[in-house]
Structure 1
């Protein structure tokens, strides 16, 4: 996609994160199955549900803004982050070490999403897209909450157990 304006950049970035969310929704259920800690598994399931809602928000945004047409593209960054998570699964036995590694992989994803949604919020604001900014900001808040939850799970139990395994 040729990017010649701020609007083009917004559409490109929105298309990229849309692809990222679709890829992530497929990966989260696998992460949930691969986690041995039930709290972590439940956090991945919860984020799967949130991700479905985040995809719906992007759909709402596109429906409300007729000039915003998402382009078909693949988010290569998310593809790489998911590949890294799969490598972690292949390289570890089920247990606390794998759980710690899954959290690390998931937080890389969250940080990518936080950066992406933060940029999209700024672009939407600058373009005067108030509804889009509101929808994207809600998703940004969810991503930050998920990141904090993963940190809490890691530091409260999993990392300590992984250290002694």
Structure 2
């Protein structure tokens, strides 16, 4: 079920350009929220590997925001944030996880899981907006979007690597 915000945005989208602009505004909001969220999550994580990765991703997220600002400028789109309800739900999930788990490897495993859900959302959105940019012949921004898409995919793989190499195993060992 969509919210009235989402319905209004997509009901107005009678052209691919409008879908592109809506996606751009949602991504801009998402990256801003992600940057703030990462700062709070870093202090909740205990794994050195995870903390270092989240610190790196905080820096990457700043770059993502700057690239999106370049996309706004290059396409003549008004720079604006547009909240996206699905991501708001994932943010609430992350907050709930932190409040219902003790600091340690179990919480770290949960943090990774929620962050990967967010990464998958971002990967889908960047892939979609890149495809729109290609169709709209916005050649000047395609590389910017591809760069961010690849960084999001890379972060997802790194999160998987940390989870599978030790965090999930350590969390499971706590149950024995």
Q: Same fold (TM over 0.5)?
A: yes
| CA deviation after TM superposition for structure 1 residue 71, in Å | 3.8
Give the ranges of 4+ consecutive aligned residues of structure 1 lying more than 6 Å apart after TM superposition: none
Deviations, residues 51-107 of structure 1 (Å, cap 9, x unaligned): 0000000111112222x2244421222221111011111110011110000000000
1:4 aligned residue = 14
2:85 aligned residue = 76
Give the alignment of 1:125-140 within 5 angstroms: 125-140=134-149
**Structure 1: how far apart are the matches of 2:48 and 2:152?**
20
Question: Matched residue of 1:82: which SS?
Answer: helix
Confirm whether residue 14 of structure 1 aligns to residue 24 of structure 2: yes
**Structure 2: how far apart are the matches of 1:76 and 1:47?**
23
2:71 aligned residue = 61
Aligned residues: 164
2:39 aligned residue = 29
**Structure 2: how far apart are the matches of 1:117 and 1:94?**
32
Counterpart among 88, 99, 109 of residue 118 in structure 2: 109
Judge conservation of contact 1:15–1:72 (CA < 8 Å) in 2.
yes
Gap regions ≥5 residues in structure 2 = 1-8
Judge conservation of contact 1:12–1:71 (CA < 8 Å) in 2.
no
Counterpart among 130, 141, 150 of residue 141 in structure 1: 150
1:51 aligned residue = 61
1:154 aligned residue = 163
CA distance 1:145–1:72, change in 2 (3 Å): closer
Return the TM-score normalized by structure 2.
0.90
**Structure 1: how far apart are the matches of 2:124 and 2:64?**
15
Judge conservation of contact 2:69–2:79 (CA < 8 Å) in 1.
no
**Structure 1: how far apart are the matches of 2:88 and 2:27?**
12
Deviations, residues 111-158 of structure 1 (Å, cap 9, x unaligned): 000000000010000000012211111000000000000000001110
Question: Matched residue of 1:36: which SS?
Answer: coil
